[in-house]
Amino acid sequence: MSKKVLKQLSELQLGDMVEVSWLDASRGRLETVEELREAGAAGAEIDLPVTSYGVYIGSFGKRAQHIVLVASQWLFAQGYGQIDCTIIPVGTVENIRVLLPKLMEAENVQVCQQAFIHGRARRLMRRITLFGDER
């Protein structure tokens, strides 16, 4: 990982709306190296450039760090909803750009973090209730 990306990551603030350029290792379907060469892919590269947008809620991981972005957030009922996250291995990141600092409020970031970590979270009257694995 480049020093530039490490610096960019260290400067991110929770709740920032960001654009992350990174390399995925998937073309959306199974392809053999031979099929890629026949299709004209130089050197049968599997690096697939991706640009993801979302609200930064932190970096997580035990063995490898991953950037977690909230791409969508649904509110089904008062204080109850669901999030859709994009999870990006830090080692694949080429560039991070802050589009809008502190777009998401700290309280909402905390709710999204808990929903990501524990599976479900509910905010009611400023308290966070977690649902899921009780371990």
pLDDT score of 134 more than 50: no
What residue ranges do the domains of the chain occupy? 3-132
Average pLDDT estimate for 41-47: 58
Provide the whole-model pTM.
0.75
Query: What whole-number distance in Å separates Cα of residue 59 and Cα of residue 74?
Result: 22
Retrieve residue 8's tokens.
Answer: 């960019």
Query: What whole-number distance in Å separates Cα of residue 25 and Cα of residue 31?
Result: 11
Q: How far is CA 14 from CA 39, 99, 101, 110, in A?
A: 42, 13, 9, 9
- DSSP letter at 38 equals H
Highest mean pLDDT among 14-18, 23-27, 34-38, 82-86: 14-18
pLDDT score of 115 more than 80: yes
Q: Could you tell me what percent of the chain has a pLDDT over 70?
A: 68
The confidence score (pLDDT) of residue 45 equals: 59
